[in-house]
Structure 1
Amino acid sequence: MRHATGDHAPAASGYDAELQRHNQVLRRAARIRPHDHVLDIGCGSGQTTREAARRARAGSALGVDVSEPAVRRARELARAEGLRNVTFEQADAQAHRFQQERFDLVISRFGTMFFDDPVTAFANVGQALRPAGRLVMMVWQSRERNAWDVAIRRSLGAAEEPAAGGTEGPDPFSLGDPPAVREILHASGFADVAFTDVHERVYYGPDVAAALAWVRGFTCTSAILKGMDPAAARRAVEDLRVALAAHLGDDGVWFDSRAWIVTARRAATD
């Protein structure tokens, strides 16, 4: 589910909290070395980029995101932490002119599923990698394997609809099918594509009220609610509240999820 990225930007910290367990998995998979130069695609408020910079203490990290508020917040947090080897740019990775063969590693935590043309996008990112440079990205598996999405859409009366009003709009599950992703990456100039199953829970907040506020900020949720008449929207919100309450435990509201760690290398060129 894509999150709203408007100027009310709470949610940079909320997003990091939601994905706290996934973040640990990505960190282990990335295996960042002290001299690495790292590119972080869809960096949001920059948690993953800042972590990369701390591990690549003799290298560097660049985070890019299309959201100006998110990039602004990322810069503020990096300054507050005194990091000198990290930078952030507002940019679309599909079209941005990266310095060619600059990076040893490209990482992404759920930031690569929304490209208009994924082959073009990954080819552009690949050109920024040094020969045999690595790609390590986390993407959602299919919709039906993610209990959080199933519960939200069922509550909103949209379980059978990919998006409000039709199939248009960002699809957070667009890279969930391994054969299709392998084909995209091969066409983009990557080799040695591999998939590792990630079965971790997502965190929506310490209580139902916080979780409801967070979920209502999702782009898809807000779009569906805006398309309803007021009475239907009130019923949908109440159904959503009930669904969230069913997942409340002693440590907050958690949902099951499934993702992939996708790894690949820039293919050798003749």
Structure 2
Amino acid sequence: MSNDNANQDQQPEALKPEDWAGEMGLKWLASLSLFEEMIAPIGEALLARAAYKDGETVIDLGCGGGATTLAIASAVAPSGKVMGLDISPDLVAAAQERATKSGASNIEFTCADASTVQLPDAPYDRLFSRFGSMFFEDPTSAFTNLHGLVRKGGRIDLAVWGPPRDNLWMMEMMGVVRNHVEIPPAVPRAPGPFAFEDLEYLGEILDGSGFTNVDVVAYEGLQPVGGIGATPEKAVEFAFASMAVGRALSDKGEAVMEAASKELTEVFAKHHVPGKGVMMKGKVWLVSATA
């Protein structure tokens, strides 16, 4: 066993690399509608910023269950097309089924690692990603590969999480977890949800992989944790079943889980808005660049 693997085995579950091809893809699929409700406004803001037009060809990177892929397909119809790309075979299968039921004829899906994939119809005009670009082990290499999939002068549009301190939904949850489990401080710039919180670092990655004209705007809003209308109790169930906080607590025993659940329910209750759900602050960078 290599030292890297040994170190990974000693890490708390919340800090281990996320297996989007396996476990995390299945967890996302199991709570697909709730995840999509939580981040749908961000996807809408990124789609509005991208302003797709009839005839454009687009890659939807980290397409998940296909919600954004369907939206892009509608925007570029009738003569444009979209390729949904995801590393999870389970999510790709669900997205394909969803697209088939919709009747959209200008969508294809590929299950592959975006850091190395080669697409036969490349280069595409555009690339879109709502939270699908932050998990690469070697981001410069991955974005260099993506650069090769987009035509010269084409554009990419990304949504990535801003700093954790500006994302109350994560900070409050991790605060509860740290009351029960020892978790080392996060490693800056490491692959994960907040890999690109530092815009200087993201700029270095994009510049190093051939992209230019980087432009960033901030999106701030309230995230309905656990989906629209979720009670504090349901939001806790969602968090523990689907997110890193649950992984961190999962092997600590029933008493710890119950104590953390009670504490997090009390936290979520402070942010609960009847009819809307557990509404907590989030901040996202909406990033565009030219290939």
TM-score (norm 1): 0.91
| Partner AA of 1:40 in structure 2 | D
Shift of 1:160: 6.3
> What are the ranges of 5 or more consecutive residues in structure 1 without an aligned counterpart?
none
Greater shift, 134-143 or 152-161, is seen at 152-161
Alpha-carbon contact 1:101-1:131 (below 8 Å) kept:
no
Shift of 1:209: 2.7
Match of 2:72 in 1: 52
Match of 2:5 in 1: none
Alpha-carbon contact 1:21-1:201 (below 8 Å) kept:
no
Alpha-carbon contact 1:201-1:255 (below 8 Å) kept:
yes
Secondary structure at the counterpart of residue 53 of structure 1: helix
Q: Does 1:31 align with 2:51?
A: yes
TM-align CA RMSD: 2.2
Q: Does 1:20 align with 2:30?
A: no
Secondary structure at the counterpart of residue 197 of structure 1: strand
Shift of 1:212: 1.6
Q: Does 1:217 align with 2:241?
A: yes
Q: Partners in 1 of 2:219 and 2:173 — Cα distance?
A: 21
Greater shift, 40-49 or 2-11, is seen at 2-11
Q: Partners in 2 of 1:88 and 1:210 — Cα distance?
A: 32
Shift of 1:178: 0.9
| Partner AA of 1:86 in structure 2 | I
Shift of 1:219: 3.7
Alignment of 1:1-270 (within 5 A): 4-6=24-26, 9-57=29-77, 58-99=79-120, 101-157=122-178, 161-162=184-185, 170-204=191-225, 205=227, 206=229, 207-250=231-274, 251-266=276-291
TM-score (norm 2): 0.85
Q: Check 1:223–1:160 CA distance in 2 against 1; reply closer, same or farther (3 A cut).
A: closer
Which has more helix, going by share of residues?
2
Q: Partners in 2 of 1:8 and 1:22 — Cα distance?
A: 17
| Partner AA of 1:105 in structure 2 | R
| Percentage of pairs with the same residue | 27
Shift of 1:235: 0.8
Secondary structure at the counterpart of residue 221 of structure 1: helix
Secondary structure at the counterpart of residue 200 of structure 1: strand
Shift of 1:7: 6.7
Q: Partners in 2 of 1:74 and 1:64 — Cα distance?
A: 10
Shift of 1:210: 2.4
Q: Partners in 1 of 2:200 and 2:117 — Cα distance?
A: 27
Shift of 1:244: 1.4
Alpha-carbon contact 1:102-1:129 (below 8 Å) kept:
yes
Shift of 1:100: 7.0
Q: Check 1:262–1:8 CA distance in 2 against 1; reply closer, same or farther (3 A cut).
A: closer
Q: Detail structure 1 runs of 4+ shifted over 4 Å in the superposition.
A: none
Shift of 1:109: 0.3
Q: Partners in 2 of 1:61 and 1:8 — Cα distance?
A: 22
Secondary structure at the counterpart of residue 156 of structure 1: helix
Shift of 1:159: 9.0
For residues 64-109 of structure 1, the C-alpha deviation after alignment (integer angstroms, 9 at most, x for no partner) is: 1111111111011101110100011111101111247421110000
Shift of 1:46: 0.7
Alpha-carbon contact 2:43-2:130 (below 8 Å) kept:
yes
Number of corresponding residues:
264
| Partner AA of 1:108 in structure 2 | S
